[in-house]
Amino acid sequence: MVAVAEATGRYARRVAIWTAERTVDEPLVRRLLAQFPELRPPRSLRPLSEGWDYAIWAVDEAWAFRFPRRTMVVPGTEREIAALPRLAPLLPLPVPEPVFVGGPTDDFPWPFFGSRLLPGRELGELSLDDAGREAVGVQLAGFLRALHTVDVDVDLPPDANRRADMRERVPKTREQLAELERLGIWHSTPEVETILAEAERLPPPALDAVVHGDLHFRQLLATDAGELTGVLDWVDLCRSDPAVDLSMLWAYLPPRARPAFLEAYGMVDDAQLLRARVVALSVWGALANYGHAEGHAGIAAEALSGLRRALS
């Protein structure tokens, strides 16, 4: 869901920003699945999830098929297909591993893939108390420590969205937050500009760690008890500063839970903490806009509460 996180105020005023290039409906899914004799015909189909750039369909309650909805995410889809099978065995939480890889057809011009359906619900759908969030944070920290130190034989590009470069990210974040104020769903505080101005003075970061690239509460699956069961949506997999994946520290965890996260994750310097805080304001601001525009009250509520936590 990279584009959700990249939406700025001037673009968000255009209603069409949330409208996909392709509608992935059941007749289309059935036609595309005909590429796989093992699944023909599917016993059951149901829409599982939909974001700005992908539609996910559950097939036979065993497989999750991921279909691009925009041309711009196709390189990321190809990267997922190539990298996730190599990355998955090295990580402590499940990630989608492509088993069925489909090619373009006359009525669908892009590659797509199916992986085993992971259990759990989106983390943002769970009503966890502070202790539950802290437990999630410790699990996530262990996963990110493994990811950010992994040695994987895959050619990954630097982050094209430059999330860790505060010269790019700070102006974008100002626009995103200004749009929320224009919509009347959030109001800034003096602390926001203090954080952004300090971050804008940071030098460019090193781009050497393997990162998820767009990690937030919609990309994590968990049981109702808060046990993480999967990490989704790797379209932004790249090399960058680990800070871009640490925004959950600020926006998902209450202040009392942050020390446990940092203890489980390991050393993070002050510049990385500041970069992560700005990324939290940016991504959660975009998610609040998306939830508001699309009528997803739960997403908007979690995103807005995350903005408040990021300023705590």
Q: List, for residues 141-175, the tens digit of each pLDDT value.
A: 999 999 999 988 888 999 989 999 999 999 999 99
Rg for the chain, CA atoms, rounded: 19
d(CA 237, CA 69): 18
Pick the CATH number of 120-310 from 3.60.150.10, 3.10.28.10, 3.40.50.1820, 3.90.1200.10: 3.90.1200.10
Q: For residue 59, give the H/E element and its range.
A: strand 54-59
Global pTM reads 0.91
d(CA 211, CA 216): 13
Amino acid, single-letter form, for residue 192? V
CB atoms closer than 10 angstroms to residue 229 = 16
Amino acid 155: pLDDT? 87
Cα–Cα distances in Å, from 42 out to 36, 63, 79? 10, 11, 27
Domain boundaries, the chain: 15-116, 120-310
Mean pLDDT by 10 residues, the chain (312 residues): 41 49 94 96 93 91 96 94 96 97 96 97 96 98 97 89 96 97 96 98 94 96 97 96 98 98 97 98 96 94 98 92
| Domain made up of 15-116: CATH architecture | 2-Layer Sandwich (3.30)
Q: What are the phi and psi torsion angles at 198 (to 5°)?
A: -65, -40
